[in-house]
Structure 1
């Protein structure tokens, strides 16, 4: 009677127990090393994220410092007192306009004074093409719904401006500018005269740092090519 032998190549019955144990330990060590590597990578990402956050915070803090601090310290008491006589005298004074703008930033309403400045610059335009480009720029920045710096205007005033854009004139924004001027005069100007920013000047106190919002969407005519602006005389 013959005996049949069946071989199973996938089973190595001769393999030592020590070798099998070594493979198990070695595989476990690799898995542990992989876990440690993942943990170290995660820690590195966390540290990098923290460094980036600190860097952004530093930039934000640096950008929020008053830009015109040196100029503001040179404002005389006599000049600052005149600003309280009328809102018009405040805006007609270069340092007064800058100080009031800084105050509006603390209230997150600087779009009002920026719109007023843009309108003042617009009315100085003489070239027909420049009038069209500036009118469109002002409308898109301040007037249209969901504009980046939308000002608070009634529906009728907005509608009149929209219709005038087909053939804009130097008076296209007069009604809107007058409305915003009144809002600032009756509301913001009153609070400005009671603010620390103004009282520090009147009482001769050292000016304190002001936390300001970054003006990433601030309005400037430099965004538009071939449009020359006189806005620098107002800032």
Structure 2
């Protein structure tokens, strides 16, 4: 009887030892999986961070200082270069006036329209986005120019926005472009310095286009 109890006791102890060993092995295996998971997550995070940092940097360094210097020769040369157009747009965003270059680009695209239906659809889209009162990206045009466009939008032609585009082009050339050439964004490029954070600020839009003569734009570049 005593021997039987001892065997039972030994089996219980032996069995418990196996159970504890098995439990400890599972815990260690789980901890190992967790460590591997963390290592994978860290590796993925590092890769994503590196990609997000190196992507824009690679794009910035694609513009040589020599090329950027040419943008200072004329506004036309700036707009005719894809990177120049991108950098100028980024500058306008710091002044919250990117609607001007977006309108100019939209007009360049519109003038390439061929089909009558395409002309109508694009003209109305540009009018709603940039011209009509309280448009989401309304450009600052004088009353007379806006009135002519409003009356012509029912039956638009490829020249419906010519006067407006010319005024916006001239404003950017005489106002925004001169400030762009003095901006950190441009000076950093021509001096080969890395890009720095830019401060956003709202420019006053109290001026009107009545200050400028109605000059037809000779720019016919669409990138």
1:78 corresponding residue in structure 2: 66
- Paired residue for 1:109, among 97, 115, 120? 97
Q: 1:68 and 1:147 mapped to 2: Cα distance?
A: 32
* RMSD (Å), alpha carbons: 2.0
1:113 shift after superposition = 0.2
CA drift at 1:115 = 0.2
CA contact (8 A) 2:64 2:192 kept: no
How has the CA–CA distance of structure 1 residues 129 and 79 changed in structure 2, closer, same or farther, with 3 Å as cutoff? same
Q: Aligned to 1:129, what secondary structure does the other structure show?
A: helix
The match for 1:201 among 173, 180, 189 is: 189
Could you tell me which residue of structure 2 aligns to residue 99 of structure 1?
Answer: 87
Alignment match, 2:126: 138
Higher share in helix = 2
Deviates more, 1:67-76 or 1:159-168: 67-76
> How far does residue 70 in structure 1 lie from its aligned partner after superposition?
2.9
C-alpha spacing 1:69/1:171, structure 2 compared with 1 (3 Å)? farther
| Structure 2: unaligned runs, 5 residues or longer | 1-52, 202-220
Secondary structure (helix, strand or coil) at the match of 2:84 reads: helix
Cα shift at 1:72: 2.3
* Shift in Å, 1:211: 5.6
User: Which TM-score applies when normalising by structure 1?
Assistant: 0.61
Q: 1:68 to 1:134 in 2, by over 3 A?
A: farther
List per-residue Cα deviations over 1:118-166 (Å, max 9, x = no partner).
0000000001111000000000000000000000000010011111112
Distance 1:209 1:234 in 2: 29
Normalising by structure 2, report the TM-score. Answer: 0.64
Q: What is the CA–CA distance in structure 2 between the aligned matches of 1:164 and 1:139, rounded to whole Å?
A: 11
